[in-house]
Amino acid sequence: MRKIRDVLRLFHENKLSKRKTADSVNIHPRSVDRYLKKAKALGIIWPLPADMDDDKLEQLLFPQNCSATKKQESESEPNWNDVYKELKKKGVTRFLLWEEFSEEHPGIISYSQFCRTYKQFVSVLNPSMRQTHKAGEKLFIDYSGLTVPYVDRLTGEVYKAEIFVAVFGASDYTFAEATASQSLPNWISSHVKAFCFFGGVSEILIPDNLKSGVTKANKYDPDINPTYQDMANHYGVAIVPARVRAPKDKAKAENGVLGIERRILAKLRKNTFFSVAEINMAIKPLLEEYNNRKFQQLSETRKSLFLKIDKPTLRSLPAMQYEYAEWKKARAGIDYHVAFEKHYYSVPYKFIKKQLDLRITKNMVECFYKGKSIASHKRSYVRGYTTLKEHMPKSHQEQAEWTPERLIRWAKKAGNKTEELIYSMIESRPHPQQAFRACLGIMRLGKSYGDDRLENASNRALTIGSLSYKSVESILKHGLDRKPMPVDSVSTSVISHANIRGANYYN
C-alpha cells in the first residue's frame, strides 16, 4: 500500500520539504514528487474528505493495474542495488553498466542521467554531511544508559528507574524524567510530558531504534510502532528514526544524555529513593539548573537559546492531550464480532472475515478498515458481547429485542430445567445470538405443548446431553416427556467451572 496519505499530510500540513517528507515515510523523493503532482492534477487537496479511505485514494491516483505499474517502473531505470554491487568489482565502470542496460532497454535512460541518478542513490545510502539543525525542527529522543535505583518500602526490593531524555537540535534545551520502565505506555507518556514542558511541538522526532518506538529497525525502511505513529499524528509531528549504525544521526541525543548523566544523575548517586515520583522531584530543580547553565564558549544558556530560536517556531499544542491508545489487528468472525481481552465487539456484517485494525483506549474500542473508521464502542472490562443493532443482518435485527437475560428470565417461568436448558444452549455457542433462533423455537413449543410438558422435555434433553431445538421438538412430538427416564441415564447438571459464566452473568 502506497504511503500517499502520509505524504500529503506531511507536505501540506506539516510544511515539510519533499526531501524531508521522503525521509519521514521512507520512500524515494521522486515518489513524493510523483504523488504530489498527481494529487494536484486531480484536484485532491489536504485535508482529505472523510469518506476517502486508502483504497479510494490509491485508485484515484493510480488507476492502472498494480502489477502492470510495478513492471513498468522496474523497466524505467536500472536496479541501483545491483549497480552498486557491480561497481565494487574490478574493471567494472558506470559506462559499461549503462551500455549493458541500454542494450536490453534502448532509449530508456541517457548516460548523464544514469550517473546523476546513481549519485543520488549513493548519497542516500552513505550520507556524508555535517549535521545542521534548524530552529524548532528536530527533537532528539533517547534513554540514558544509567538508571536510578529506588526501594520498595513494603518488600525492600530494589528497582531501577529509566531516564528519558529529549533534546532540541538547535538550542540543546533538554527535558528529562524518570520512568519505571521503557515500556510503550511510559514511552508515550514521556513524549506527552516533554511536549507540555516545551510548550509546543517540533517538526520532526528523531528517536533511537527502541522497540517501543520502532517495531522493526531497518536502515532504510524502519517500521514505526502504530501507537507511536498515532501519537505523532495527534500532534502533527513526523517521525524519522535514527538509522542503524549511523552515529551522526543521534549525536545530539547522545550528547544530551551525557550532559544529564554528568550534571544530574551523578549528583543523585548517593540519594536513596522509594518511588519514581521521588526521583522526578529530585530531577526537576537540577534540570532547571542544567538548562540555565551557560555554555563554555557562549554567553547564552540552553533556555535562553530555546526561547530565542526554537520556541517561536514550534507548532502549537492541540486542545486535548493525546490519550494513550493501543493498536491491534483483528479479523471479524462469522458472527461479525472482533475480540479484545475476551470481550466481543460488533462491526457491520459486511466486514465478516476482513482484517481490521483496532484502536483501544481506556474508554473506547474503535475499529478501522483500510484507514477508515467503521465502528466505535465503549470499552468493556468483563467477558461478554457488545452488539449494535445496525451492524446486524436484517434476519438478526428482527431478533434484536431478545437478549440472553430476557430469554433466561422467560425460561425460568416454565421451570428450573427449562431455564437450565436455555442457559446451556446460549453458553455452548461462541456468540449468544447464535443460540437465539433455537431458543425462540423452544419458546413456541412451550406455547403449543404447555409449560409442564416443556419442563419435562427440557429435563430429558439435559439428561441425555442433547441441547438443541430439534431434540426438544422430537421429545415432545413422540411423547417421550411422559415416559420414565432410562435407569442408566447419567445426570448432566451444569458443571461448575471457572470458564463457565453461570446464569447470574445474564441477570
CA–CA dist 500, 128 (Å, integer): 64
Q: Of 376, 396, 416, which residue sits at a domain end?
A: 396
**Residue 127: per-residue pLDDT:** 38
Does 133 map to a domain? no
* Cβ–Cβ under 8 Å, residues 439 and 406: no
Question: CA quadruple 396, 399, 405, 409: dihedral positive or negative?
Answer: negative
Tens digit of pLDDT for each residue in 25-42?
A: 777 888 888 888 888 888
193 and 304 co-located in one domain:
yes
293 and 206 co-located in one domain:
yes
353 and 457 co-located in one domain:
no
88 and 218 co-located in one domain:
no
The domain that contains 251 carries what CATH number? 3.30.420.10
All three cell numbers of 51, joined, read 469518506
Conformation bin of residue 152: beta by default, left when phi > 0, alpha when psi is -120 to 50: beta
Does 381 map to a domain? yes
b/e string for 245-265 if b means 16 or more Cβ within 10 A? eeeebbebbbebbebbbebbb
**Residue 298: per-residue pLDDT:** 61
143 and 262 co-located in one domain:
yes
* Cβ–Cβ under 8 Å, residues 414 and 446: yes
Task: Please choose, from the candidates 459, 392, 391, the residue with its C-alpha nearest in 3D space to the C-alpha of residue 421.
Answer: 459
Full domain range(s) for residue 373: 326-396
Question: CA quadruple 246, 249, 255, 261: dihedral positive or negative?
Answer: negative
165 and 294 co-located in one domain:
yes
Does 132 map to a domain? no
Task: Report CA 323 to chain centroid distance, whole Å.
Answer: 13
The strand pairing partners of 271, in sequence order, are none
Does 320 map to a domain? no
- pLDDT beneath 50, residues of the chain: 1, 65-74, 90, 125-132, 216-222, 490-500, 505-507
DSSP secondary structure letter of residue 311: G
178 and 282 co-located in one domain:
yes
Burial class of 21 by CB neighbour count within 10 A (0 to 12, 13 to 18, 19+): buried
All three cell numbers of 450, joined, read 404447555
CA–CA dist 360, 289 (Å, integer): 39
117 and 76 co-located in one domain:
yes
Does 319 map to a domain? no
149 and 218 co-located in one domain:
yes
474 and 374 co-located in one domain:
no
**Residue 107: per-residue pLDDT:** 73
359 and 391 co-located in one domain:
yes
Number of independent structural domains in the chain: 4
All three cell numbers of 383, joined, read 467477558
**Which pTM value belongs to this model?**
0.56
Does 318 map to a domain? no
Tens digit of pLDDT for each residue in 86-108?
A: 665 546 688 888 888 887 777 78
357 and 309 co-located in one domain:
no
Q: Of 313, 345, 379, which residue sits at a domain end?
A: 313
Does 321 map to a domain? no
* Cβ–Cβ under 8 Å, residues 37 and 7: no
Q: Of 268, 289, 313, which residue sits at a domain end?
A: 313
Does 283 map to a domain? yes
User: For residue 387, what are the contacts with CB-CB under 8 A and spacing of at least 6?
Assistant: 337, 346, 433
All three cell numbers of 480, joined, read 417421550
**Residue 136: per-residue pLDDT:** 82
